[in-house]
Structure 1
Amino acid sequence: MEITVRVPGSCGELLQGELQGEPFLVTCPIGCYTTVRVSDALAGIHGLGRKSLMALEKTLTSLGKEELPWGIRLESSLPRGKGMASSSADIAATIAAVALAFGYQPYWEEIMRLAVDIEPTDGVFCPGVVCINHMDGRMLAGYRGLPAFRISVYDTGGEVDTIRYHETMAMSPAGSASAAAMEQFQRGVQLRDEALLAAAATTSALANQRLLPKEGLEELLAFSRRLGAHGLNVAHSGTVVGVLWPAGFADDELRQAERCIGKRFPQLKFLLRSRLQGGGIWMAAGDDGQWQGLFA
């Protein structure tokens, strides 16, 4: 028996805030993954942290199983405590892998229900880009076929306790993203307009400065725009910043722009270069390195 699944992380969120009293976020999935393998060739539990262990136990309980009769291993290329949905990816990948090992294919709604019982969750395991209430897991909207922004991901340093952040946000009206930003985002979705989508993300990022400030964000925005960027997004409850470039931005131009940013902002740590992509859960299919999506 051999099951391997992967779930993407994120570069923060495209939007996050509160509308009409309801918290929400819009996901920003990227090509950086947590992978979980369940196999009879393994023995014991490897790489699972506290939250993914909770996900394992909750999945077994939901399936009516007392224990996992196979070994399980979790590996991730996602930094911890930075706002890159590492916990959400770990939790979702664990739930999916364990369920599949027992012959049950879970719906994303079932994964969401178990995940939010552990912590506020990012919807990176949902298909496409989604707007969710990350506190209770309700899907508010889904978006397919968005422009595949090129994203340069930087770390501003330190770590953030996301649970404490959400508690603070609930008490702070400054944590609410404006309705205008969401309207701008929706227009961008309708028109498939990169500039409008990035402008909405930028508005949300700047609004979050009052709640979780990132030093030099406004200067980074102005400098990046001069280099050709559309704007930026942030991990609203984390430390990463994404510079959003046009989908067609050439490799050599992007590398040169990143070098310029590195010289101008030496305090920023370059983490990776990726693109906006759809979220979801993928299962390894055969031995040829192919991955099959669980959700249509």
Structure 2
Amino acid sequence: MGAIKASCPGSCGELFQCVVDGEEFLMSYGIEKKSQVVIGPQTGVMEEGLRPKMLQVINELTDQIDFDYTFQTDISVGKGYSSSTADMLSILGAYSAYKYGTVSVPLLTSLCSKIEPSDSVGFSDWTVMNPLNGEIQWQTRWKPKLYVYILEPDQMVDTTSFIRMMESPLYPAEQSKTLLTDFKIACDKQNVELLGAVATRSALLNNKRLPKPYLNDIIDLVNNLGLLGVNIAHSGSIVGILLTEEQLMHMTELEERLSHHPLASYYSLRNLSKIIYDGLQVKNVEEILE
């Protein structure tokens, strides 16, 4: 059998995250940063090691690494980019296609959730799921053309170390339950303004549990420029400013205002990404890439 390449995008946190009837739900969107794994027949030459969680999750499918692989990623770790989920889905997708000729994103996502709370980046449709078990709650085929300006601090965090929403006395779980309903309404109406409002409200509710430096200043700036909204990594450190394609004309002014604000030294890494709908992609390749 020839080599198989699998890739999975990271995300800029979650568009929203909430608690409904004692269950956590979230929805992550893809960005232009990816993890990629290529699996092929053994040649005895392997270049890059897999990350620990990739090895953990592949053990859910096999206890024998009888293949060669390469691993590449441009997703930062410890920030809230869904790097672990993207890594794990890439190795699982490549192995599943290589060994069995088939790939089930729901199944592979549930395997990731056994290792740690996971995100819905493997789905090409926007998918609301329980991060603790990977169960799908709701999906939409709406794919709005959006962008995110990512604000990233230098600081790394252990994104699995924070107390869960359901267990945090600081998190307003009862208020958060309407986020899911409002997200569904926004998608059904294909209304990006409602979508931005859901993201911003989710960020503010989560700020009671895990405060983000300068979040209110960022939201004020976004509102002043008439941009779509703000979303966050609910258990990470990055913040996303959501924009429509038409709002990209404000990017110069947005960056100018950010750069002259004290927050610029904290969120020192800033970059624009298109929001993508690739999900986990698996392809046959002629040979393992170097």
Q: Normalising by the residue count of structure 1, what TM-score does the alignment of the two structures yield?
A: 0.87
Matched, 1:108 2:105: yes
2:216 maps to 218
Residue in 1 aligned with 2:137?
140
**Which of 170, 173, 184 matches 1:174?**
170
* Partner of residue 54, structure 2: 52
Alpha-carbon shift at residue 156 of structure 1 (Å)? 3.4
Q: Structure 1 residue 164 and structure 2 residue 123: aligned?
A: no
Residue 84 of structure 1 is matched in structure 2 by 81
- Per the TM alignment, residue 164 of structure 1 is displaced from its structure 2 partner at its CA by 2.0
Aligned residue for 1:55, secondary structure, equals: helix
- Work out whether residues 8 and 31 of structure 1, in 8 Å CA contact, stay in contact via their aligned partners in 2: yes
Paired AA for residue 75 in structure 1? Q
Give the residue type in structure 1 aligned to 2:166: A
Q: How far apart are the structure 2 equivalents of 1:24 and 1:157?
A: 28
CA spacing shift, 1:42–1:279, aligned 2, 3 Å = farther
Tell me the distance in 2 between the aligned counterparts of 1:180 and 1:170. Answer: 15
Q: CA deviation at 1:286?
A: 5.7
Aligned equivalents of 2:71 and 2:285: distance in 1? 19
Structure with more relative contact order (C-alpha pairs < 8 Å, separation 6 or more): 2
| Secondary structure of 2:148's aligned partner | strand
Cα distance, 1:272–1:190 mapped onto 2, change above 3 Å: same
Distance in 2 (alpha carbons) for counterparts of 1:93 and 1:199: 32
Q: Compared with structure 1, are the counterparts of its residues 27 and 42 closer, same or farther at alpha carbon in structure 2 (3 Å cutoff)?
A: farther
Q: Quote the offset at 1:27 in angstroms.
A: 1.3
3-state secondary structure, aligned to 1:51: helix
Give the superposition deviation at 1:217.
Answer: 0.4
Secondary structure of the corresponding residue to residue 121 of structure 2 = coil
The letter for the 2-side match of 1:272 is: N
Q: CA deviation at 1:9?
A: 0.5
Q: Of 187, 190, 197, which residue of structure 2 is paired with 1:189?
A: 187
For residue 128 of structure 2, what is the aligned residue in structure 1? 131
Aligned partners of 1:42 and 1:149: how far apart in 2?
44
| CA offsets 1:125-149 (integer angstroms, 9 cap, x no match) | 0231111011011100012223222
Question: Mean Cα displacement is larger for which, 170-179 or 233-242?
Answer: 170-179
Is residue 2:75 matched to residue 1:74?
no
- Aligned twin of 1:202: 200
Give the corresponding residue for 2:257.
260
Q: Deviations over 1:147-198 (max 9, x none)?
A: 2221000113422322222x44332143336233333222211111111000
Percent identity reads 26
Gaps of 5+ in 1: 62-66, 288-296
2:79–2:159 Cα contact (<8 Å) kept: no
Which stretch of structure 1 is more off in the superposition, 276-285 or 236-245?
Answer: 276-285
Aligned length: 280
Amino acid at match of 1:28: Y
Deviation at 1:21, TM superposition (A): 0.9
Q: Is the 8 A contact 2:35 2:71 kept in 1?
A: yes
> What value does the CA root-mean-square deviation take over the aligned residues?
2.0
CA-to-aligned-CA distance 1:79-106 (integer Å, 9 cap, x gap): 1011110000000100111122224312
> Given the two structures, how large is their TM-score scaled by the length of structure 2?
0.89
Could you tell me how far apart the structure 1 residues matched to 2:270 and 2:228 are?
20
Runs of 4+ in structure 1 displaced over 4 angstroms?
A: none
